[in-house]
Structure 1
Amino acid sequence: MEVDGTHHMEAAQWAADLRRQNEVWIAGDRILRFTAFDVRRRPDEVAAQLRAALLAAGWRPTI
Structure 2
Amino acid sequence: MKQPTDAKGLPGSGYGIEVDGLLKSEFVTMEGATNGARELKTRFPMLQIRIYDAAAKTRTEVTA
TM tier, smaller? 0.3 to 0.5
TM-score, normalised relative to structure 2: 0.34
TM-score, normalised relative to structure 1: 0.35
Q: Where is the helix percentage greater, Structure 1 or Structure 2?
A: 1
Higher-Rg member (1/2): 1
Q: Where is the strand percentage greater, Structure 1 or Structure 2?
A: 2
